[in-house]
Structures are given as structure tokens and as C-alpha cells.
Amino acid sequence: MKIFPDDRIFEVVAKVADREQVEAYVIGGYVRDHIMGRENPDRDIDIVVIGDGPAMARAVAREIGRDIRVTVFRTFGTAMFRYRDYDVEFVGARKESYSEDSRKPSVIPGTLEDDQNRRDFTINALAISLNKENPGEVLDPFGGIEDIRNGIIRTPLDPDATFSDDPLRMMRAVRFATGLGFRIEEGTLASIARNAKRISIVSSERITVELNKIMAAATPSTGFLLLEQTGLLPLILPEISKLSGVEDKDGKGHKDNFHHTLKVLDNAAEKSDDLWLRWAALLHDVAKPLTKKFVPGTGWTFHGHEFLGAKMVPEIFKRLKLPLNDRMKYVRKLVGLHLRPIALVQDEVTDSAIRRLLFEAGDDIDDLMLLCEADITSGNMMKVRKHRENFALVRRKLREIEEKDAVRTFQPPVHGDEIIEAFGIPPGPMVGVIKSAIKEAILDGVIPNDHQAARDFMIKKGRELGLEPR
Ligand code: ATP
Ligand code: MG
């Protein structure tokens, strides 16, 4: 196969390579994606040269023009610059050898073949020549093109050595299978299962990067099924792995919460690209195993799993080195509230219940509704249809109430200062009592959400508590 990617960067590298008498190749993800006719999601181009990578980067940058800044990573012997919207990285071809306890190899210069040997998968080991002798020739020592055609993830060399050397590759295998819709070749898959424990030498940050890429795929469930099947999931997200399985008692079973969770995740992914909404979907039932009880006559219950689940979110985020900022709070909030919309439609849809939900969900109400709808996974079509209809009703009510009362971005219409001023009392618990009475009155629909009504209510409430306005 011969292809010379149609972009000026490759012309320039070829020209400089010829002038400097260095061999250069495009390698890795760019080549894979180019052959697949797909845009590289990370927008990076890897160039491998037989020789000094940083020196080549500088020469190419000079050739392109003055304003290109080259960043050199001394410890890795690599260099990169930005060109148009690409990150172009240069590395000298290398041979690697690994030790037991680290995924960082010791490195010596090598040939193109050495460099291809150290690549993780056949589809990632493809190189395109940028040299005068064979421009555009695809160098494919491991049948990567064939594997792309058949949709197969396979290691170039012995999979046990590949995964034991750098166990992050196991996560990458699952990630590529999920993102590209490929399957992992049997020998490679069995090797991941054998080497799963080695994942312990990989940092949480690295694992999480791959987890997030799995989450971002069109059908994230594929990845979680593979992680579970290979034994990686119990090591990296035991809480989700534990959702697996069903128990039977007195002829009553419950659904397999692992498969249910994955369905909810896929449903959410179909409706939204938002990574954090997807995390909320993955974690929404996380506390079910811990809250599971068998109640004779009733069956299985998971009472309070939404509250306990919300409490578990920060711990899980911390362990995975996910951000502990408002993203975490958003996920925690959605997990905590995920039963509320459905509880609403099962009871009577009262204005005050709607108002309370709006108040607690705030601007995340639409995402919460989306999650809750994704949570309807019953196999019973009648039941699903009925739920969906009820949901339409809740949505309509939400809009009505929001237009009328604007509680979504609730701001107390009477502030603490005004209470202190009105009764001439010092700051203290009494102020809080009156404030929260006002909030409750608004949410219950006793008074409208406006200043005058809230002020009148404040006076009345104060009097009840033995205070006199000044
Ligand atoms: P994407 O950009 O979609 O994440 P990619 O294949 O470009 O996919 P990168 O992480 O950008 O992945 O790495 C570029 C190339 O470097 C890969 O195609 C692969 O050849 C090689 N590579 C990256 N990480 C590893 C690893 N852990 N072990 C072996 N080879 C790797
Ligand atoms: Mg890449």
C-alpha cells in the first residue's frame, strides 16, 4: 500500500529528511486513523526519525518559518511543536527494555523495526515512509492493515510480554476496542485477563485518562463489559464490578444491576456527549450492593441507595484522581436526586413537590431528567411507555412552575440583614430560622416568590417567635 498524506507538514518533513539525510516516518495513531478515513481525535502527528528526534524537530520548524516554537522533552528525547491545529511530535527510533516494577523502560537508539516492535498494537505500529526512496510506502510488519480491515486489536509481539512490560496497554486495548468498535483478538484478550493484576503499577491518573476515553465512546458499555470480563474492573472500579449478579430468595429475584447500569450509561450516552452526565449514569446505583435487603413479602429493596451513592462519589473521584471541583458536585447531586423525578410521577404531581425538585436540582434539572429517563430500562414495553408519558407530564409541569415561580435559581427574596434590621436583633440562629421558614413557605406555595410577600411573611413569622418589628 502507498499513501502520502495530503498535508504540507509531510512535504516539509520529507524535504528536510532528504536534505539532512535522515530517515523519517509518520507512525502510530495518525497513520491508523488516516487509513481508516477518520479524523484523529487528539489531532496529533507522530514522526519517528532514525537518529535525533529533537534535532529533526528544530530543522523542520526552521523550514516552516520563524514563529514556530519547539518544545523539547529532554528526559524522553522527544520534541514537539504546534502546526496549524496539529501537535507534531518527533522522536528518535528506539529500542526499549523494561523492569518488573515500572512501566518506564530504559531506552537505547534503534531501527524503525525496533521502534515498531515497541508499539502496543498492530494497528498502531503502521508507519508511512517520508523518504525519497519509497515515499508513501506503508511499512506494516505485523499485518496492521489487515487488522484494521477486520476490526481487530492485537499486540505485535507476545501479548504477555507486551502487557506485563506496560500494563497501561491493557486499558488502551479496551479503550481502542470501545472507541473504534473493534474486537480484541482472543489471545490478546486472554493475556489481559492473565496480566490484569499488573495494573497496580499504573498511576490512577493514567488509568483515568483511558476510563474517560471509554466513557466518551458512542457505546461505553462495550468497554465496561471488557473490563469486567478481563478482571480489570474489580481492580480499578470495584464498586461497579460489585453491581454484577442476581440473588434469588423465596422465588424473588432482582435485576442484575451491572447490566442495568451499563444500559443506563448507553442510554445517557445516546442523548448527551457530556462526560460528567455519563459518570453520573455510571455511578447512579453504585450503593445498591451496600443497601440491598430482602424484605419478606416485599422482595429486594435498596433503600437509601441514592443518598449513600451520593456520599460515595467524592471518595471514588478522589481515588481515581478525577476533579474534586464542581464536576464532582454535579455528579454527586445527580446521583443523590436520581430517584426524585420518577418518585414524582408515581405519587401525585403536586406543585410544591415540583418546586422542591426545581429548587434542589437548580440548573441541572434538565440533566437530571435526562438521567432519570435513561434509567428506565424495563423490558416491559407497556411500562416503559407509561413512564415516558408520565415524564412528559413532569416536564410540562416543571416548565409551568418555573415560569411562574422561578425557583430554579432560587435566591432568598429576604436576606439575613433585612431580618436583623427589621426586628433589631443580633445575628444568630433566630435569623436562620426565619430565613428557612420563608424558603419553605415559597417552596410549599404558601407565598409567592417575591419580596413583598416574603417580607410580610417574615413579620408574621417573627411575631410567632415573640419578636416585634421596630
Ligand atoms: P489517540 O491519539 O486516539 O489516543 P494514538 O494511537 O495516537 O491514539 P497516543 O497515545 O497518541 O495514541 O500514542 C501514539 C502512538 O504511540 C500509538 O499509536 C502507539 O503506536 C504508541 N504508544 C502510545 N502509548 C503506548 C504504550 N503505552 N505502549 C506502546 N505504544 C504506545
Ligand atoms: Mg495520538
Quick check: 288 pLDDT over 90? yes
- What is the helix (H) or strand (E) element at residue 416, kind and residue range? helix 416-423
Residue 137 three-state SS: strand
Determine the residue of 80, 107, 119 to mutate for testing ligand 1's pocket, defined as the one with the most ligand atoms within 8 A of the Cβ atom: 119
pTM: 0.91
- Are residues 330 and 355 in contact, defined by beta-carbon separation less than 8 angstroms? no
Quick one: average pLDDT of 321-327?
96
Using a 6 Å cutoff on CB, does residue 168 contact ligand 1? yes
For residues 183-194, average pLDDT:
98
Spatial distance between the Cα atoms of 77 and 49, rounded to a whole number of angstroms: 12
How confident is the model at residue 347, as a pLDDT? Answer: 65
Least distant ligand from the CA of 26: 1
* Average pLDDT over the chain, rounded to an integer: 93
Q: Which ligand is nearest to the CA of 124?
A: 1
Q: What is the pLDDT of residue 380?
A: 78
Question: Domains, the chain, ranges and CATH?
Answer: 8-150 (3.30.460.10), 416-464 (no CATH)
Ligand nearest to the CA of 217: 1
Please state the rounded mean pLDDT for residues 15-43: 93
- pLDDT for position 75: 83
Please give the backbone phi and psi of residue 378, each rounded to the nearest 5 degrees, phi first: -60, 145
Q: What angle do CA 92, 97, 101 make, to 5 degrees?
A: 125
Name the residue of 86, 88, 117, 124 to mutate for ligand 1: max ligand atoms within 8 A of Cβ.
124
Q: How distant, in Å, are the alpha carbons of 3, 40, 217, 246, 468 from that of 37? A: 12, 9, 18, 43, 77
Give the nearest ligand 1 atom to 213 CA: 4
- State the pLDDT confidence band at 298, using cuts at 50, 70 and 90: confident
124 lines ligand 1 (CB under 6 A): yes
- Within 8 A by CB and 6+ apart from 369, the residues are 341, 391, 394, 395, 398
Report how far ligand 2's centroid is from the alpha carbon of 43 (Å): 7
User: How far apart are alpha carbons 202 and 102 in whole angstroms?
Assistant: 8
How many angstroms does the Cα of residue 103 sit away from the middle of ligand 1?
14
CA-nearest residue for atom 27, ligand 1, is: 169
According to the model, what pLDDT value does residue 140 have?
A: 97
Most confident of 62-66, 193-197, 446-450: 193-197
Q: Residue range 263-290: average pLDDT? A: 98
Per-residue pLDDT tens over the stretch 371-422: 999 998 877 788 888 888 888 888 888 888 888 878 887 788 899 999 999 9
Would you state the pLDDT for residue 434? 95
The predicted pLDDT at position 247 comes to: 86
The pocket of ion ligand 2, defined by CB under 5 A, consists of: 29, 42, 44
pLDDT attached to residue 47: 97
**Which is nearest to 283 in space by CA: 247, 245, 257, 303?**
257
